[in-house]
A and B are shown apart, each in its own frame.
Chain A
Amino acid sequence: MVRIAEEWLATCGGCEVTVLDIGEPLLDLLPKLQFVHMPVLMDHKYFGQTGEKEFEIPEADVGLISGGIRSEENARVAQEMRKKCTTLVAVGACANFGGIPALANLYTLQDLMDTVYRKGRTTEPADNPSEDIPPLKDRVYAVSEAVKVDVGLPGCPTTPELVAGALTALLEGKPFSLPERSVCDDCPTKREKKAVATLKRPLENVQLKEGQKLEDVRCLMEQGYLCQGPATRTGCGGADKVPRCIRAYMPCRGCFGPIRAGANPMVDMMGAISSIGLDARQIEDRMATFNRFVGATGRLRPLPR
């Protein structure tokens, strides 16, 4: 029996849904798993709110954490999870790279507070709230920036196959990691290394005929859609490997993060875009666009003025 503890930090809950979304493989896994802690199901709260509960996480073999570290509370929960769990798994883009909330790292905490509590047109100016809520950190941190993480399952949300795969590997005592290859490497679309259109707005429709196979569809980027496949790690495609968004005729937005630790997706994308003849100048807000899911881990910070 493997004991599992699950925690959510600065998260939307989508990654927890993914864990529950494993489907049939979960039935095979369940008899071997015991969930000893999972606030999303058991409604533990530690701070303020109804915070009379004691801060306690039971010992577990595997700890799953979704969400990045935005507040002091998040940081303490992450540390406690590290202490109590033998193997720690970071689940989702937020836990691994900060995710969408880490777009806030483009601004200082002061700017953020001013905007939210004082500068909004419909907001009565007020002081930063401080009663019964934990203070915020200066920026959003990935879990791995605070404690050692043993396994990373990226994606926004991550995929049921990855969670099941990682749990199965851990049960069998085998290592688990993703290949260092790009989404393009697993993408079936047709490529000719040359754009056939200028950059399009993200919501314009991809050109395809009804029933047309993906193999016959021209690479979305070559059609002018900003697709982050070249700078994004593959692994979202599940069993048949076709990347999740491409399968739905949508360009990749980069939720699996950089192909290898330390790579800079923005620089790689600028290279990829210009090499097929698209004009990167037409892209709005490039910094945030190319770092949409990876704002922690040093990728986004307030610009020097």
Chain B
Amino acid sequence: MAEETFEPLIIGFCCNWCSYAGADLAGVSRLQYPPNLRIIRVMCSGMVHPNLVMDALTKGADGVLVCGCHPGDCHYQEGNLKAQSRADAIKLMLQDFGIEEERFRLEWVSASEGPRFAQVVTEMTEQIRELGPSPYRMG
């Protein structure tokens, strides 16, 4: 029973130029996706410091999704590449903290990819629903 009532809380960091617009498009196109994502708009995926991700995951979030422009499309040139190399460090830290790898995802979503955004969020929500609450989730 308890599992059925578990609703994952996922924090989404979306870059202003592509992914936030993509999320917006999903919204105005009235695409259905689970309401578990709380979107935080950032200027670029490259400014999402690993600190933010680890803090979220150890202080109550069940998952973190970082979305940026496709490689080559970053409006600050290489922000998304930076996000990519940070993602490697984040995955390593997830191991160190004993957090399942699936709780963190980095995805490229362009302004025209509303459906893709909805699909990513749906997938991730289902995956985390199966994993259950974050081991660090506080009462």
Contact = CB atoms under 8 A, between A and B. Distances in A.
To the question of whether A and B form a pair in one complex, the answer is: yes
Contacts of A270: 50, 89, 92-93
A286 interface: yes
A270 B94 CA distance: 12
A268 interface: yes
B89 A280 contact: yes
Contacts of B86: 271, 274
B4 interface: no
A267 B135 contact: no
Contact of B96 (A268, A273, A287): A287
A267 B59 CA distance: 15
Nearest to A275: B85
A249 to B, nearest CB: 28
B76 to A, nearest CB: 17
Contacts of B89: 270-271, 273-274, 280
Contacts of A281: 92
B79 to A, nearest CB: 14
A246 to B, nearest CB: 25
B51 interface: yes
A5 interface: no
A304 B135 CA distance: 6
Interface in B63-118: 85-86, 88-89, 92-93, 96-99
Nearest to A274: B89
Contact of A264 (B54, B85, B88, B136): B54
B50 A271 contact: yes
A203 interface: no
Contacts of A273: 89
B98 A268 contact: no
Contacts, number: 40
Main secondary structure of the interface of A (DSSP, over half): helix
Contacts of B3: none
Contacts of A303: 97-98
B94 to A, nearest CB: 11
Contacts of B55: 264
A266 interface: yes
A53 interface: no
Given A264-B55, A268-B51, A274 B93 contact: no
Contacts of B135: 304
A121 interface: no
A271 B97 contact: no
Nearest to B99: A304
Contact of B98 (A263, A267, A305): A305
Contacts of A287: 96-97
B38 interface: no
Nearest to A288: B96
Contacts of A286: 92-93, 96
A263 B55 CA distance: 10
Contact of B88 (A263, A268, A274): A274
Contacts of A267: 49-51, 54, 93
Contact of B51 (A264, A274, A304, A305): A264
A280 B95 CA distance: 12
B92 A280 contact: yes
A287 B94 CA distance: 11
A211 B92 CA distance: 40
Given A270-B50, A274-B86, 17 more contacts: A264-B51, A264-B54, A267-B54, A267-B93, A270-B93, A271-B49, A271-B86, A273-B89, A274-B88, A280-B89, A281-B92, A286-B92, A286-B96, A287-B97, A303-B97, A304-B99, A304-B136
| 7 interchain residue pairs of minimum CB distance | A304-B135, A303-B98, A270-B89, A304-B98, A267-B51, A287-B96, A274-B89
20 contacts: A263-B51, A264-B51, A266-B93, A267-B49, A267-B50, A267-B51, A268-B51, A270-B89, A271-B49, A271-B89, A273-B89, A274-B88, A274-B89, A280-B89, A280-B92, A286-B93, A303-B98, A304-B98, A304-B135, A305-B98
